[in-house]
Every structure is written in C-alpha cells, then in structure tokens.
Amino acid sequence: MSLRLRLAGALALVALLTAVAVAITAPAIVGHGFAAMEADSATGGTPHGQGPGPGPMAGLHTQQVQADTTNMLIAVAAIAAGAASLLGFVLATRMVRPLARLEHAAAAVARGELDVRSGVGSRSDEIGSLGRSFDAMADDLQATEVARRRFFQDAAHELKTPLAVIDATTSAVLDGVYGHDDRHLQTIREQSRLLARIVDDLRTVSLADAGVLPLRRETVQIGALLASIARDLEARATGAGIAIEVRHGGNPVALVDPDRVRQGVVALVDNAIRHTPNGGWIRLEAAPKAPDAVQIAVVDSGPGIAAVDVPHVFERFYQADPARDRSTGSSGLGLAIVRAVVEAHGGHVRAGNEAGAGARIEIELPVASGPGDGPADPPA
C-alpha cells in the first residue's frame, strides 16, 4: 500500500475512533441529562418534591444539568481524541521509521561512507522508491570514487614513465655515461612529446567530463574526411605492412567539428594499427543511418576484442594487455577521447567484433547540431 494511502488511513482512523467513542457514550450521557431534567420538572425545582409547582430553582437545575451533560460529552470526546491520537502517533512512528533509516544512510554517505545503503529499497511504497533511488545514487557515487582513485593512480603511472626515462637519460649524459649525441636527445624529445600528448589528452577528457569540450561545428562530408585521414596515416600503416581502405555510401554529410571528429577517428585507426599484424588491413566506413544520423566504423583484421574487454575498452588507461607498454607513444587515453568527442557531439560509440575479421568500432553522430555543443576554444 502506498504511503499516501497509509497516512490518509491513519488520519481517518483517528477521526473514526473519536466519532465512535462519542457516538457510543453520547446516548447514555444525554439520556442521563434528560432524566435529570424530567425529575427536576416533576419536583418543581425543589429537592425531594417539597413544595408544589415550579420554583425559582427549576431553571437553575436545568441549566446545571445541561452544563454537566455538555462537560461530559466534551470529556468523552477529549479522552477519545487523545487515545486515537496516541494510536495515530504509534502508527505514524512506524511509518516514519524507514525515513529515519534513510536519513542515517544519507548522513553516512555525506561523511564519505559510500558503501552504506538505505535498507528500504525492498518496500513497495513511495519510501521504497525513494530508497531505491538513493541506493542507485550511492552506487554511482561509489563507482565514481573508485574510478577517480584509479584515474589518479593510472595518470601518475603514465606520467611517471616518460619522466623517469627523461631523468635517467639526462643524468646519464650529464654524468658522462652517455655521449652528447643526437640519439639520446631524440629519446628525450620523444618522451617529452609523449608527456605533452598525455597532458593534452587529459585536458580533452576533463573538458568532456565537465560538459565544456569546445566544438566548432560545420557541415562536413564524412567520406571525404575519412579519405583525408587514410592519406595522412597511410605512410605509417604501410610501414607496418597494413593496407588502409575507405568505403562510404553517398558521402554522408553531418554538422560536426571536423578537427574533433578527426581526432577521434585517428585515435581509432592508431589503435587498429597497433593491434593489426603485418599483412593485415584496416577499413574505414561511412554511411547514413536512419533517421538522422551518420555512422562511422573502423574495422581491422586483427585478433579482435575479447568479450571480457568489450565493456571496458573506452575507459581511461584501460588496456587488455597487462604489460601496459607505452613504447608506441600511446597515452592510454585514445579510446576514452573517442567516447568523449562522440558524446560531446550528442552521439554514441560501440565496440565489438566484425564477423570474419577483427575489431569493429562504430561511431554514430547526429546529422544536425546536438545538445553537446561547447564554447569556442579558450585561449591557450
């Protein structure tokens, strides 16, 4: 039964008990009063029937009887209302007890005890609905806190590696272990660029999380954009023994930020190159998707994505390979940036596997401007 009906029932019960008590006792009280008035009339207002006819005391006796009757009715009504109110208080206390539990749970969560739950989610009334909402909120807060801690740990790990390489290389050069040659300067420059990329990627993800990722939308032919990306990455792919192909039906058009979309697709192709063996291929696809969207897909001939990894591939710093090798210059944020860019456009991204091939990652972008528009890029 809903809480609203319970409260209404409790109030109705208080009123009903009061009315019943008054209704039961009123006839006896009123009857007693009438009997006293009749006896007073029969005696003429004199005690024990002394003296004939109505005396001056008759009116006073009648008024006294009326006053006594009224007082008795008031007393009975007050006692009945008090008893009914006490019963209503007990019922209300029982109904409020779950709210007290919820209050204590909310206070615990506010203190940082994110594993506390309401304990009232199994109820079928409004309090149960509130409890389930509270528990869901607490679950989200706990998951966010876990993700936040993991993010800082991973970020520290990712930043520490190139810094350690830079420090070791420069120390070796300064100590005379290494010579002052271009090879070691190249190592320092590569690690510095990796640091800069990690910082830029962290900034992009943080702006997307805050909902302020800058977007400069314009009408873009998606097929032509994919062809441009394939040309830019062709040399690297060829060096890895991988062929890149572009397929698009009707060269669909969307209102997007071309630089951000390029950033996301390049991250996908970069990821595909690192996971596709020599002699493999990568295919970029674009096609209209009903009713008002464009779908971009990056497919490769690599080993694909393990089922256990599919739900996590867009998480920050997530790698299916526990070795977490950064020798390729990856920041570990590529797929997280893809999701950030796509969601900033109001789109969706999915990961899976292509039948008879390897991984397939699909981006779905709305054709028109979406709610994810951000402001212009802030000054550096």
User: Are residues 224 and 215 in contact, defined by beta-carbon separation less than 8 angstroms?
Assistant: no
Q: Check whether 95 has a pLDDT greater than 60.
A: yes
Compute the distance between CA of residue 313 and CA of residue 321 in angstroms, rounded to an integer.
11
Q: Name the residue with tokens 């900033």.
A: 344
Per-residue confidence (pLDDT) for residue 330, from 0 to 100: 55
Helices and strands per DSSP (H, E), number in the chain: 7, 7
Q: Check whether 67 has a pLDDT greater than 80.
A: no
Q: pLDDT confidence of 219, banded at 50, 70, 90?
A: very high
Tokens of 321: 């390979």
What percent of the chain has a predicted confidence (pLDDT) above 90? 20
Q: Check whether 244 has a pLDDT greater than 90.
A: yes
User: Are residues 152 and 145 in contact, defined by beta-carbon separation less than 8 angstroms?
Assistant: no
Q: pLDDT confidence of 71, banded at 50, 70, 90?
A: confident
Q: Check whether 76 has a pLDDT greater than 80.
A: no
214 prior amide bond cis, ω within 30 = no
Q: Which CATH number fits domain 218-366: 3.40.630.10, 3.40.50.9100, 3.50.50.60, 3.30.565.10?
A: 3.30.565.10
Q: Check whether 241 has a pLDDT greater than 90.
A: yes
Tokens of 23: 């209704």
pLDDT tens readout for residues 150-188:
777 767 777 787 888 888 888 888 888 777 778 878 888
Q: What single DSSP character describes residue 359?
A: E
78 or 44, greater pLDDT: 78
Residue 29's contacts (CB-CB under 8 Å, 6 or more residues apart) are: 69, 72, 73, 76
Least Cα distance to 344 among 178, 211, 195, 172 occurs for 211
Number of neighbours of residue 304 by Cβ within 10 angstroms: 17
Per-residue confidence (pLDDT) for residue 26, from 0 to 100: 67
264 or 213, greater pLDDT: 264
pLDDT tens readout for residues 315-325:
776 666 544 44
Per-residue confidence (pLDDT) for residue 379, from 0 to 100: 38
Compute the distance between CA of residue 88 and CA of residue 196 in angstroms, rounded to an integer.
68
Query: What are the beta bridge partners of residue 221?
Result: 253
Which residue type, as a one-letter code, is found at position 179?
A: G
Q: Is residue 345 left, alpha or beta, with left meaning phi > 0 and alpha meaning psi from -120 to 50?
A: alpha
Q: Check whether 51 has a pLDDT greater than 60.
A: no
Per-residue confidence (pLDDT) for residue 39, from 0 to 100: 65
Least Cα distance to 257 among 265, 249, 268 occurs for 265
Q: Which of these ranges, 6-10, 131-135, 287-291, 338-342, has the smallest mean pLDDT?
A: 6-10
pLDDT tens readout for residues 347-369:
999 999 988 888 999 999 988 75
β-strand 281-289 against 243-248: which pairing, if any?
A: parallel
Tokens of 332: 């570990």
Per-residue confidence (pLDDT) for residue 323, from 0 to 100: 44
List C-alpha distances in Å: 27 to 36, 53, 78, 314: 14, 30, 17, 80
User: Are residues 293 and 253 in contact, defined by beta-carbon separation less than 8 angstroms?
Assistant: no
Per-residue confidence (pLDDT) for residue 127, from 0 to 100: 80
Q: Which CATH architecture has domain 127-209?
A: Orthogonal Bundle (1.10)
Compute the distance between CA of residue 206 and CA of residue 278 in angstroms, rounded to an integer.
35
pLDDT tens readout for residues 107-152:
988 888 888 888 888 888 778 888 899 999 998 888 878 877 777 7
Per-residue confidence (pLDDT) for residue 89, from 0 to 100: 73
45 or 23, greater pLDDT: 23
